């Protein structure tokens, strides 16, 4: 099992269950605030990116993702195209905590992303997630 820090749309229970086919409570480990990082908007998208930002902090949750769900998570995050996997400099239970870092392909805005603002567009986003994840089957 790998630990992943979720800081954006996957914090929403509907997005989470659409992507990972589980309730958050089944995989939740702990809340985490990461100092020196911030969530920024991506131009033309509803999801954020996590980037280093002095004097900032990003709040999120750590989930333990089993091997059978890693492929779904990577597909959703478009690993290798939109995002790469990185780890923080600290450990949990002697294991790395991973997060998704943007590739240069994404056009990052200087505006901050907020979960509350995301809730305004959530319905359409969840529908698009459902369609996307159907492509895996």
Nearest alpha-carbon partner for 135 in 45, 70, 75 = 75
Give the count of alpha carbons within 13 A of 38, CB side only: 13
Residue 109, in any domain of the structure: yes
Tens-digit pLDDT profile for residues 75-91: 999 999 999 999 998 87
Domain residue limits at 80 = 2-124
130 within a domain of the structure (yes/no)? no
Contact 50, 35 (CB under 8 A): no
Looking up residue 95, the CATH number of its domain turns out to be 3.10.490.10
Query: What does the pLDDT look like over 90-120, one tens digit per residue?
Result: 877 788 999 999 999 999 999 999 999 999 9
**28 phi/psi in degrees, rounded to 5:** -65, 135
pLDDT at residue 137 in the model: 67
DSSP 8-state secondary structure symbol assigned to residue 11: G
58 lies in some domain? yes
Does residue 30 lie within any of the structural domains?
A: yes
């Amino acid at each position: 099992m790998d630990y992943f820090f979720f800081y954006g749309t996957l914090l929403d229970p509907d997005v989470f269950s659409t992507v990972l086919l589980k309730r958050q409570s089944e995989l939740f480990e702990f809340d985490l605030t990461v100092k020196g990082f911030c969530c920024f908007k991506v131009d033309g998208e509803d999801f954020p990116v996590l980037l280093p930002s002095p004097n900032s902090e990003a709040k999120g949750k750590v989930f333990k993702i089993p091997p059978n769900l890693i492929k779904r998570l990577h597909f959703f995050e478009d690993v290798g195209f939109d995002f790469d996997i990185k780890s923080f400099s600290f450990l949990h239970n002697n294991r790395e905590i991973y997060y998704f870092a943007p590739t240069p392909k994404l056009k990052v805005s200087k505006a901050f992303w907020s979960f509350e603002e995301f809730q305004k567009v959530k319905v359409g986003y969840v529908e698009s997630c459902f369609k996307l994840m159907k492509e895996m089957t």
